[in-house]
Amino acid sequence: MNDAAAPPAQSWKVTLPCTRAEAEALDGEIATFAAMDSPPVLMTSEAGGDDENAWRLDAYFEGKPEPAAIELLRSLVPSAADMQPQVELLPDEDWVTLSQQGLEPVTAGRFHVRNRPADPEEAGHVNFLIEAGRAFGTGQHETTAGCLFMLDRMRRIGMRFGNVADIGTGTGLLAFAALHLWPRAYATASDIDPVAVEISGHNAIANGVVIGTGIGQVALYAAAGVDHPAIEQRAPYDLVIANILAGPLIELAPSLCAVIEEGGTLILAGLLREQADAVLAAYRAQGMRLAERADRGDWPTLRLRKRPRIGWKRPRRIDRNARGEAPGFGTL
């Protein structure tokens, strides 16, 4: 009998054309594969050419995908119902990292985010290294960059905060940026994905951010929204950042608003322009008012302020089963 360990499963890629609208909607559809032992990683990109509506979906599988998995993938992009998917075996390489090696550094306000150690730092900016291929929130996505711009602007107009929470932190980037702007603040960063929390810890060390529960430190927790005893105990917060998705943002409106102090600020991102009204309605119902809106392409960043009313109360949800999950994104 051969006692040698079995070789790791080879990676396969399935490619289908899709529309831009289908690509944008896929952020909320990844949970379709949650029951699989090794769910695929879905990536969308512009197909190139003159048609701005022409996009493509690439799904990366560990092991050759079963026909049922391919059919499930096809169901996510109805426009490709009559198209034959391209199925190919990939070389034995780290395709997640390779797929992002072409990412360029991003500058947002005073912040400069590079995704590779080899990239030079930008003089005169606050530099962060968030390596590509590790989790959502490298600074590349318009929603993350929009949050960085908003945080930078808030500091420039003289806003001050002492207790900050970044819900759906992804890589920890936004919590790190907030701590740089307000170094005497307490900072809390959480994500529903424990892997994202682990990655945030590694990124904190790489960027000289101290992990802990004290002033000028970031406390990391794995939690669905604010559903964690430590997150509740550290409330109320005068600044909460939530870069997730429109659906989870709406579900989490009562619990997020409950942990914000009266007069406190809430930054929302991860929603599309056409989703802004529905998200705003959910938060206005919780006593929030819109103070500022900044759009980057189709992605708005909203700054809201909590209207003074009757004291602070414990977090509650619209639905006890609503966990605010955003698989693959906010983990935004």
Q: Of 47-56, 107-116, 174-183, where does mean pLDDT reach its minimum?
A: 47-56
Q: Quick one: pLDDT at residue 182?
A: 98
130 vs 116, residue with greater confidence: 130
Report the pLDDT averaged over residues 289-300.
Answer: 90
Sequential DSSP letters for 247-297:
HHHHHTHHHHHHTEEEEEEEEEES--GGGHHHHHHHHHTTTEEEEEEEEET
Binding site for S-adenosyl-L-methionine: which residues?
144, 168, 191, 243
Q: Quick one: pLDDT at residue 62?
A: 77
Contacts within 8 Å (CB) and 24+ apart, 289-296: 291/265, 292/150, 294/146, 294/149, 294/150, 294/153, 296/142, 296/143, 296/145, 296/146, 296/149
Q: Are 202 and 133 in contact (CB under 8 A)?
A: no
94 vs 110, residue with greater confidence: 110
Binding site: which residues?
144, 168, 191, 243
Domain boundaries, the chain: 11-94, 106-306
Residue 99's pLDDT band, with cuts at 50, 70 and 90, is very low
Residue 242 amino acid letter = A
* Look-up of token digits 């060390």: 205
As given in the structure block, the two tokens for residue 261 are 């102090």
Report the alpha-carbon distance of residue 146 to residue 34 in Å, rounded: 29
Q: Is pLDDT at 100 greater than 60 in this prediction?
A: no
Report the pLDDT averaged over residues 80-91.
Answer: 86
Q: Quick one: pLDDT at residue 243?
A: 92
Distances (CA, A) of 20 to 47, 48, 52, 187, 214: 10, 12, 8, 36, 44
Q: Quick one: pLDDT at residue 89?
A: 86
Q: Of 60-74, 186-200, 261-275, where does mean pLDDT reach its minimum?
A: 60-74
Report the pLDDT averaged over residues 128-145.
Answer: 67
Distances (CA, A) of 168 to 58, 144, 257, 314: 24, 11, 15, 20
Q: Is pLDDT at 20 greater than 90 in this prediction?
A: no
Residues 6+ apart with CB under 8 A from 82: none
Q: Is pLDDT at 332 greater than 50 in this prediction?
A: no
Residues 6+ apart with CB under 8 A from 269: 143, 144, 146, 147, 242, 243, 299, 300, 301, 302, 332
Report the pLDDT averaged over residues 208-236.
Answer: 96
Residue 304's pLDDT band, with cuts at 50, 70 and 90, is very high
17 vs 48, residue with greater confidence: 17
Report the alpha-carbon distance of residue 20 to residue 311 in Å, rounded: 44
Residue 175's pLDDT band, with cuts at 50, 70 and 90, is very high
Report the pLDDT averaged over residues 281-302.
Answer: 93
Q: Is pLDDT at 220 greater than 70 in this prediction?
A: yes
Report the alpha-carbon distance of residue 218 to residue 186 in Å, rounded: 7
The 3-state DSSP composition of the chain as helix, strand, coil percent (nearest 5) reads 30, 25, 45
**Global pTM value:** 0.67
Report the pLDDT averaged over residues 194-200.
Answer: 89
Report the alpha-carbon distance of residue 151 to residue 159 in Å, rounded: 9
CATH 3.40.50.2300 fits 11-94, yes or no: no
Residue 33's pLDDT band, with cuts at 50, 70 and 90, is low
Q: What is the CATH number of domain 106-306?
A: 3.40.50.150
